Amino acid sequence: MNREEMNHSLKVFAAKIRLETMKIIASRGNGHVGGSLSIADALAVLYGEVMNIDPKNPRWERRDWCVLSKGHAGPAMYAALGLKGYFPMEDAYHLNEGGSNFPSHTDRNKTIGVDLTTGSLGQGISQAAGAALANRMQGIDSHVFVFVGDGEADEGQVWEAAQFASHYKLDHLIALIDSNGRQLDGTVDEVMSHGMGLVAKFEAFGWKVIDVKDGNDVMEIYDAIEDAYRSEGKPVALILNTIKGKGIDFVEKSGAHSSTLNKEQWDAVIKEAQDKLEALL
């Protein structure tokens, strides 16, 4: 596949992830739309091209791992996993129902293909760093990818994990920082700003940092991961400059963290996602 073909196929995959994410959230009537949509492109690159995985053998010990430290974006991960064939997509249209295997926050004991249980912000990156160290101790050469929110990065635990990963030279740990500028009820700058900024902060903690200027551009993300693979002795942070709600107009405009809509409104959102996918085909 040449670059142009890869660009197209990853864009299509991202559009499918957005469509399925909206269907999954619509099945419940409410959920975390903004932070799910902002990482759809990065998930498309990971699951569509980069990760060494086997949907038929989800716990294959040599697989690459993907951890959603920002676990509230679970629906986007379920969309990617369903599209890869880990389970029938329809199974995920039961978000957060009693007894459902698809809680709004990712849970490795419930959903096939989910590597770690997350949702309490700050903890997922710590677990991911532990997994990267454990893999190395077992002679497993795979990579651990972990999505961290920019609001989540207000948690002190994120920086303990950053220090740990740097100390142990975890160059197979790749954090994708979803720098969408917003958190639950405001902008990151209003609620708790990052001062010197996330690039300088991760650098100060001894990480290799790649500033991905457009974190919703699949090829820019792909190139950044290729670059990350060349890191020696340092964990890598990709600072993805994304748009919260990317791809669905009303979420993009409002930056909504979560949305509760009625059936007609969800139908319109799903139609928008469907139309955008069809325009690419």
Q: Which residues contact ligand TPP by CB under 6 A?
A: 34-35, 38, 70, 72, 119-122, 149-152, 178, 180, 182-184, 244, 257
Q: Largest alpha-carbon pair distance within the chain? A: 52
CA distance 106 to 143: 19
Q: Minimal distance in Å, beta carbon 15 to ligand TPP?
A: 20
Q: Which is nearer to Mg ion, 36 or 180 (CB)?
A: 180
Q: Report how far Cα 76 is from the mean position of its chain's Cα atoms.
A: 8
Q: Which is nearer to ligand TPP, 119 or 206 (CB)?
A: 119
Q: Which is nearer to Mg ion, 172 or 182 (CB)?
A: 182
CA distance 275 to 53: 30
Count the Cβ atoms, other than its own, within 10 Å of residue 97: 12
Taking CB within 5 to 8 Å according to partner kind, which of Mg ion, ligand TPP, none is near residue 72? ligand TPP
> Nearest-CA neighbor of 128 among 161, 81, 106?
161
Q: Which is nearer to Mg ion, 54 or 189 (CB)?
A: 189
Q: Minimal distance in Å, beta carbon 183 to Mg ion?
A: 5
Q: Minimal distance in Å, beta carbon 199 to Mg ion?
A: 16
Q: Minimal distance in Å, beta carbon 23 to Mg ion?
A: 23
Q: Which is nearer to ligand TPP, 88 or 156 (CB)?
A: 156
* Nearest position to ligand TPP, beta carbon: 149
Q: Which is nearer to Mg ion, 142 or 242 (CB)?
A: 242
Q: Return residues touching Mg ion (CB under 5 A).
A: 149-151, 180, 182-183
Q: Minimal distance in Å, beta carbon 185 to Mg ion?
A: 11
Looking only at the bridges linking them, the beta strands covering 65-68 and 144-149 are parallel
Cα torsion 153, 64, 108, 106 to 10°: value is 40
Count the Cβ atoms, other than its own, within 10 Å of residue 87: 18
Q: Which is nearer to ligand TPP, 87 or 102 (CB)?
A: 102
182 three-state secondary structure: strand
Taking CB within 5 to 8 Å according to partner kind, which of Mg ion, ligand TPP, none is near residue 64? none
Q: Minimal distance in Å, beta carbon 151 to Mg ion?
A: 5
CA distance 15 to 20: 9
Taking CB within 5 to 8 Å according to partner kind, which of ligand TPP, Mg ion, none is near residue 184? ligand TPP
Looking only at the bridges linking them, the beta strands covering 173-179 and 144-149 are parallel
236 three-state secondary structure: strand
Taking CB within 5 to 8 Å according to partner kind, which of Mg ion, ligand TPP, none is near residue 247? none
E strand spans, the chain: 30-31, 65-68, 144-149, 173-179, 208-212, 236-241, 259-260
